[in-house]
């Protein structure tokens, strides 16, 4: 074979083999490391898998932050307006973490629907709400509106 | 008044850009040399007016003109003057204006320093740069005008600059990064001009090299600064988070690095021509994508600030036009550019090819990991974020491959390398590296007998390997007489400096991953804790006030073997204007280790949540980054780029 053709063929073969291996690995690793986001309602309805790394978030419920007296263990509730999800965490919370503010926790759910968080993200700027949380709140708001109008029509019928 | 002047100047600047994108391009097709020459003066005019516009915005900030929406959202009368200036690029509108200014600056310098190029070619380069300016100008004026007034509801006080951004690192980091991002517009314009003309030879490759190097240097320094800032300012002691926005800056850097190496092969040997052009297109496209990701706020990230989806749509369209258009042009013209030149498996060309494959694979892997959540969201597969393990899994081995290849590559020659030569060179550094990898962990850590760290061993192996190969190659070139180092070319020295920088950076990353110790705990005043060999005594907390904040200031005394090492004063600040709370970490830096203390929240009974960290060799990460940047700068100033010479005819290397 012509040396340049041969060289080209080798390169093409190399690329094909390498990229198929890479694509396979990448798909596998993405599957392993993709952390899905769930709203508190979805978690409590059992849509989120147990003992798999997931993310969940919403607004931190007023008065729900409980600190341990002798360690950095902390627990709090996050809500999307419909359901409250309990989150436990050990360590320092971010500066902008506060009651009534948005937070996203990453961690694993146990059987009692408590999220053992290994990371808690709060917003980074006062005027910013993470899109996931904004979305969850909107969804919950729509559900509430629907329920309200349903109950109103029910009352009207009565 | 000043704001209107700025706004007006911006519009004139846009008109200049529009002329600049049309007149020289049309002239180049019609052969009107006066039209083509107009590009030079138009680009200078554009710079002049965009600069006026920028200065006007700076003035508006310095004069606390809160009738401007942008000023009122990002500044405050209490803000120190230097932060008022840096607040200009703290948010979307102003940073885009800075983008436009930097682009105009690069364009004008191309106009000034490209006279040695054929007129048709330089006219087209300027026209392409002008077209990019038009895109950004329209974007600025229609979706993100920094000169928008808040009338008649003018606030008396601004809502303040985000305290996280009130920092020296954030004064320099964004302009540096933008210099890099925008700098890749020059090789991009160059590639488009070459594709339009259907000609790309060694002389042109030589012309583009210092431009590529300079843009890359700025990007390198910008990323390094950003990482350093995140380390000391975000308050949790990490230096890289695989955050979408960080990835957005790393991707053009990786492709830019690949481009730097492939254009070297194109210049010297005429190989990889169309590949080089493609990389130039990708480097700039990824820079645009980076701007898009940061500014559209579509991804949850530690960098995500307030966002506006409409801008995202404009950006996406702009991105589609730039990438789509240039790739279309490439598809039509690119293959014709390829000149065939043979080289063997053991040659410098082959090593550069390996470099490119590894760098581009890293980029693709990061791109997929970064965009997968977006795609999944659009396809309604759920809201996903991709965790750091994914990125580390791919990036670490690919980088290791790069370091090993880098060591071999210095011994290779163009076209073909005698394998006997390589066999005679490689054993010594290999022995040095293996010995370092096995022995040095014991020197660094007495407890290596109990738990030998494989990460540390591998890191020391790679660092020693790279440094040894560089040392041996230097010795081969100049012997042991160090004064002869001045005889070496700057591009060679720059390369070796940058490669040593990689070795130092790898050292910092690896040893920090292996030996970094973090304890987060509850401490009451008077309590002590041990981290690594250091004793941390928490003395207590005072209240202090700064120019625009109130703070709790803790005192932590650090001791080693009962001898004082440092007294650290971390702070928890609350800013007066917005009430935003911020952690100000305290550190005792040294090359061998950083001691890092930051305060969490106050707990009951005067106790505080404290984060105590000992981070070995973490400074090496940024020291390495700076060395890499300086190496690129040294190479860009090589004498042969300054020679004013008419481009020579195409270098023929058809020996196949």
Q: Which residues of A touch B303 (CB under 8 A)?
A: 124
In a domain, B405, yes or no: no
Neighbours of B328 (CB within 10 A): 10
Task: Tell me if B390 and A104 make a contact (CB, 8 A cut-off).
Answer: no
Phi and psi based region of residue B121 (left: phi greater than 0; alpha: psi -120 to 50; beta: remaining): alpha
Which residues does residue A108 pair with via DSSP β-bridges, in sequence order? A53, A116
**Domain closes at, from B516, B548, B583:** B516
Nearest CA-CA distance, residue A52 and chain B, Å = 13
Q: Which residues of B touch A4 (CB under 8 A)?
A: 340, 342, 656
| Interface contact B312, partner A, CB < 8 A | no
In a domain, B102, yes or no: yes
Same domain? B293 vs B303: yes
pTM of the model: 0.91
Assign B620 to helix, strand or coil: helix
pLDDT-flagged residues of chain A (< 50) = 158
Which residues does residue B616 pair with via DSSP β-bridges, in sequence order? B593
Same domain? B582 vs B477: no
| Mutation for testing the B interface, residue in A57, A68, A90, A131 having most B CBs under 10 Å | A131
Instruction: Please give the backbone phi and psi of residue B379, each rounded to the nearest 5 degrees, phi first.
Output: -80, 5
Neighbours of B411 (CB within 10 A): 19
What is the Cα–Cα distance from A72 to B588, expressed in whole angstroms?
A: 25
What is the Cα–Cα distance from B203 to B649, expressed in whole angstroms?
A: 8
Q: Considering its fold, how many domains does chain A have in total?
A: 2
Residue position matching structure tokens 């798909």: A27
Same domain? A85 vs A53: yes
Instruction: Please give the backbone phi and psi of residue B260, each rounded to the nearest 5 degrees, phi first.
Output: -55, -40
**What are the pLDDT digits (tens) for B167-226?**
888 889 989 999 999 999 999 999 999 999 888 888 778 889 999 999 999 999 999 999
Q: Which residues of B touch A96 (CB under 8 A)?
A: 580-581
Which residues does residue B558 pair with via DSSP β-bridges, in sequence order? B536, B566
In chain A, whose CA is at the least distance from the CA of B340? A4
**In this predicted structure, what is the pLDDT of residue B593?**
92
Nearest CA-CA distance, residue A147 and chain B, Å = 25
Number of cross-chain residue pairs from A and B with Cβ atoms under 8 Å apart: 116
Q: Which residues constitute the domain of residue B450?
A: 426-516
Task: Tell me if B394 and A29 make a contact (CB, 8 A cut-off).
Answer: yes
Task: Tell me if A125 and B372 make a contact (CB, 8 A cut-off).
Answer: no
Same domain? B386 vs B344: yes
Same domain? A41 vs A30: no
Task: Tell me if A131 and B581 make a contact (CB, 8 A cut-off).
Answer: no
From the list B579, B583, B625, B630, the residue with the least C-alpha distance to B602 is B583
Residue A125: which CATH number? 2.40.50.140
Same domain? A28 vs A47: no
Assign A114 to helix, strand or coil: strand
Q: Strand A114-122 vs strand B517-523: parallel, antiparallel, or unpaired?
A: unpaired
In a domain, B274, yes or no: yes
Same domain? B363 vs B482: no
Side-chain half-sphere of A120: how many Cα atoms within 13 Å? 29
Same domain? A46 vs A124: yes
Q: Strand B593-602 vs strand B608-616: parallel, antiparallel, or unpaired?
A: antiparallel
In a domain, B262, yes or no: yes
What is the Cα–Cα distance from B211 to B191, expressed in whole angstroms?
A: 12
Same domain? B141 vs B217: no
pLDDT-flagged residues of chain B (< 50) = 300-306, 645-656
Q: Which residues of B touch A16 (CB under 8 A)?
A: none
Contacts of B53 (CB under 8 A, 6+ apart): B6, B7, B9, B10, B13, B97, B101
In a domain, B419, yes or no: no
| Interface contact B656, partner A, CB < 8 A | yes
Same domain? B89 vs B27: yes
Same domain? B472 vs B540: no
Same domain? A51 vs A129: yes
Q: Considering its fold, how many domains does chain B have in total?
A: 4
Same domain? A41 vs A29: no
Q: What is the CA radius of gyration of chain A?
A: 23
From the list B167, B272, B263, B171, the residue with the least C-alpha distance to B216 is B263
**In this predicted structure, what is the pLDDT of residue B407?**
94
For B:411-430, CB contacts with A below 8 A are none
In chain B, whose CA is at the least distance from the CA of A29? B390
Same domain? A99 vs A150: yes
Contacts of B21 (CB under 8 A, 6+ apart): B127, B128, B130, B131, B133, B134
Task: Tell me if B382 and A126 make a contact (CB, 8 A cut-off).
Answer: no
Long-range contacts of A111-119 (CB under 8 A, 24+ apart): A111/A50, A113/A43, A113/A44, A113/A85, A113/A86, A114/A86, A114/A87, A114/A88, A115/A43, A115/A54, A115/A56, A115/A85, A115/A86, A115/A87, A115/A88, A116/A88, A116/A89, A117/A87, A117/A88, A117/A89, A118/A89
**In this predicted structure, what is the pLDDT of residue B166?**
82
Nearest CA-CA distance, residue B73 and chain A, Å = 10
Same domain? A14 vs A84: no
Task: Tell me if B300 and A35 make a contact (CB, 8 A cut-off).
Answer: no
In chain A, whose CA is at the least distance from the CA of B654? A4
Q: Which residues of B touch A72 (CB under 8 A)?
A: 520-522, 600, 609
> With contact defined as beta carbons under 8 Å apart, do B17 and B130 qualify?
yes
In chain B, whose CA is at the least distance from the CA of A30? B390
Q: Strand B384-386 vs strand A102-109: parallel, antiparallel, or unpaired?
A: unpaired
Task: Tell me if A35 and B372 make a contact (CB, 8 A cut-off).
Answer: no
Task: Tell me if B386 and A131 make a contact (CB, 8 A cut-off).
Answer: no
Same domain? B502 vs B521: no
Residue position matching structure tokens 């003395």: B539
Q: What is the CA radius of gyration of chain B?
A: 27
From the list B496, B507, B502, the residue with the least C-alpha distance to B410 is B496
Q: Strand B593-602 vs strand B586-588: parallel, antiparallel, or unpaired?
A: antiparallel
Positive or negative, the CA dihedral B504, B506, B512, B514 is negative
Task: Tell me if A126 and B386 make a contact (CB, 8 A cut-off).
Answer: no
In chain B, whose CA is at the least distance from the CA of A128? B306
What is the Cα–Cα distance from B89 to B162, expressed in whole angstroms?
A: 12
In chain A, whose CA is at the least distance from the CA of B524? A70
Same domain? A51 vs A20: no
Task: Tell me if A36 and B298 make a contact (CB, 8 A cut-off).
Answer: no
What is the Cα–Cα distance from B498 to B181, expressed in whole angstroms?
A: 20
Nearest CA-CA distance, residue B582 and chain A, Å = 6
Task: Tell me if B578 and A126 make a contact (CB, 8 A cut-off).
Answer: yes
Same domain? B89 vs B113: yes
Q: Which residues constitute the domain of residue A63?
A: 37-157
Report CA-CA distances (Å) from B561 to B259, B348, B533, B534, B558: 51, 52, 8, 8, 10
Contacts of A4 (CB under 8 A, 6+ apart): B340, B342, B656
The ipTM (two decimal places) reads 0.80
Nearest CA-CA distance, residue B598 and chain A, Å = 10
Same domain? B363 vs B474: no
In a domain, B630, yes or no: no
Same domain? B37 vs B146: yes
Task: Tell me if A35 and B387 make a contact (CB, 8 A cut-off).
Answer: yes
For B:191-220, CB contacts with A below 8 A are none
Same domain? A19 vs A88: no
Task: Tell me if B520 and A72 make a contact (CB, 8 A cut-off).
Answer: yes
> With contact defined as beta carbons under 8 Å apart, do B36 and B135 qualify?
no
Assign A94 to helix, strand or coil: coil
In chain B, whose CA is at the least distance from the CA of A69? B604
In a domain, B231, yes or no: yes
Same domain? A22 vs A50: no
In a domain, B635, yes or no: no
**Domain closes at, from B161, B179, B201:** B161
Same domain? B146 vs B171: no
| Interface contact B149, partner A, CB < 8 A | no
**Domain closes at, from B516, B547, B573:** B516
Report CA-CA distances (Å) from B637 to A74, A83, B188, B338, B586: 56, 63, 21, 29, 39
Same domain? A133 vs A146: yes
Instruction: Please give the backbone phi and psi of residue B285, each rounded to the nearest 5 degrees, phi first.
Output: -60, -40
Quote the percentage of chain A above a pLDDT of 90. 15
Nearest CA-CA distance, residue A43 and chain B, Å = 14
Nearest CA-CA distance, residue B290 and chain A, Å = 19
Q: Which residues of B touch A127 (CB under 8 A)?
A: 305-306
**What are the pLDDT digits (tens) for B68-96?**
989 988 888 888 899 999 999 888 889 89
Q: Which residues of B touch A34 (CB under 8 A)?
A: 372-373, 376, 384-387
Contacts of B156 (CB under 8 A, 6+ apart): B66
Residue count of chain A: 158
């Amino acid at each position: 074979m012509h040396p340049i053709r041969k060289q080209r063929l080798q390169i093409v073969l190399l690329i094909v083999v390498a990229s198929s291996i890479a694509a396979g690995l990448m798909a596998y690793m993405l599957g392993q490391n993709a952390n899905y986001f769930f709203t508190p309602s979805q978690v409590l309805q059992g849509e989120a898998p147990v003992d798999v790394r997931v993310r969940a978030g919403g607004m931190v419920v007023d008065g729900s932050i409980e600190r341990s007296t002798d360690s950095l263990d902390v627990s709090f509730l996050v809500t999307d307006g419909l359901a409250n999800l309990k989150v436990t965490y050990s360590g320092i919370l971010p500066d902008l973490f506060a009651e009534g503010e948005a937070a996203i926790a990453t961690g694993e759910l146990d059987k009692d629907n408590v999220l053992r968080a290994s990371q808690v993200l709060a917003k980074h700027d006062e005027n910013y709400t993470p899109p996931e949380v904004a979305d969850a709140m909107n969804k919950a708001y729509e559900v509430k509106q629907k329920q309200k109008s349903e109950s109103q029509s029910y009352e009207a019928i009565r | 008044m000043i704001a209107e002047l700025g706004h007006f100047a911006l519009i004139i600047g846009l008109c200049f850009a529009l002329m600049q994108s049309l007149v020289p391009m049309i002239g180049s097709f019609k052969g009107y040399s006066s039209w083509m020459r107009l590009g030079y003066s138009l680009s200078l005019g554009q710079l002049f007016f965009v600069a006026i516009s920028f200065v006007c915005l700076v003035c508006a900030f310095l004069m606390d003109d809160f009738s401007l929406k942008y000023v009122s959202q990002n500044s405050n009368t209490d803000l120190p003057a230097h932060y008022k200036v840096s607040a200009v690029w703290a948010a979307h509108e102003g940073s885009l204006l800075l983008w436009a200014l930097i682009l105009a600056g690069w364009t004008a310098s191309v106009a000034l320093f490209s006279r040695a190029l054929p007129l048709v070619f330089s006219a087209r380069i300027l026209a392409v740069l002008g077209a990019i300016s038009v895109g950004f100008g329209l974007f600025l004026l229609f979706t993100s005008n920094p000169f928008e007034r808040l009338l008649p509801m003018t606030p008396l006080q601004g809502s303040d600059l985000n305290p996280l951004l009130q920092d020296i690192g954030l004064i320099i980091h964004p302009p540096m990064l933008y210099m890099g991002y925008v700098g890749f517009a020059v090789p991009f314009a160059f590639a488009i001009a070459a594709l339009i003309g259907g000609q790309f030879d060694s002389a042109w490759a030589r012309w583009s090299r210092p431009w590529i190097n300079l843009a890359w240097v700025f990007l390198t320094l910008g990323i390094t600064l950003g990482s350093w800032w995140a380390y000391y300012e975000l308050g949790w002691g990490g230096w890289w988070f695989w955050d979408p926005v960080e990835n957005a800056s790393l991707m053009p850097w990786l492709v830019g690095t690949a481009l730097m190496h492939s254009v070297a092969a194109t210049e010297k040997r005429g190989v990889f021509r169309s590949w080089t052009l493609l990389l130039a297109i990708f480097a700039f496209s990824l820079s645009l994508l980076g701007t898009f990701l940061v500014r559209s706020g579509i991804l949850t990230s530690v960098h995500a600030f307030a966002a506006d989806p409409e801008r995202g749509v404009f950006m996406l369209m702009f991105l589609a036009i730039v990438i789509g258009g240039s790739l279309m042009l490439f598809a039509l013209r690119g293959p014709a550019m390829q000149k065939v030149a043979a080289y063997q498996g053991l040659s410098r060309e082959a090593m550069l090819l390996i470099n490119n494959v590894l760098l581009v694979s890293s980029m693709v892997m990061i791109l997929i990991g970064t965009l997968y959540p977006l795609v999944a969201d659009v396809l309604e597969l759920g809201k996903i974020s991709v965790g750091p393990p994914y990125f580390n899994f791919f990036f670490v081995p690919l980088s290791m491959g790069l370091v090993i290849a880098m060591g071999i590559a210095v011994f290779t020659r163009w076209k073909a390398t005698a394998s006997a030569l390589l066999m005679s060179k490689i054993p010594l550094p290999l022995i040095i590296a293996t010995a370092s990898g096995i022995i040095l962990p014991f020197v660094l850590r007495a407890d290596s007998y109990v738990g030998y760290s494989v990460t540390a061993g591998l890191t020391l192996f790679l660092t020693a390997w790279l440094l040894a190969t560089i040392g041996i190659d230097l010795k081969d070139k100049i012997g042991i007489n160090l004064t002869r180092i001045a005889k070496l070319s700057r591009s060679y020295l720059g390369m070796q400096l940058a490669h040593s920088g990689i070795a130092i950076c790898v050292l910092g990353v690896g040893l920090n991953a292996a030996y970094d110790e973090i304890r987060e705990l509850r401490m009451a005043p008077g309590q002590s804790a041990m981290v690594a060999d250091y004793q941390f005594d928490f003395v207590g907390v005072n209240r202090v006030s700064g120019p625009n904040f109130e703070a709790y200031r803790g005192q932590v005394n650090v001791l080693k073997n009962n001898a004082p090492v440092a007294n650290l004063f971390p702070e928890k600040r609350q800013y007066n204007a917005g009430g935003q709370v911020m952690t100000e970490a305290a550190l005792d830096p040294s090359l061998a280790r950083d001691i890092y203390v930051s305060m969490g929240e106050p707990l009951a009974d005067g106790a505080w949540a404290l984060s105590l960290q000992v981070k070995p060799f973490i400074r090496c990460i940024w020291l390495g980054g700076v060395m890499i940047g300086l190496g690129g700068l040294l190479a860009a100033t090589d004498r042969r780029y300054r020679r004013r010479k008419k481009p020579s005819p195409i270098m023929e290397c058809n020996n196949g």
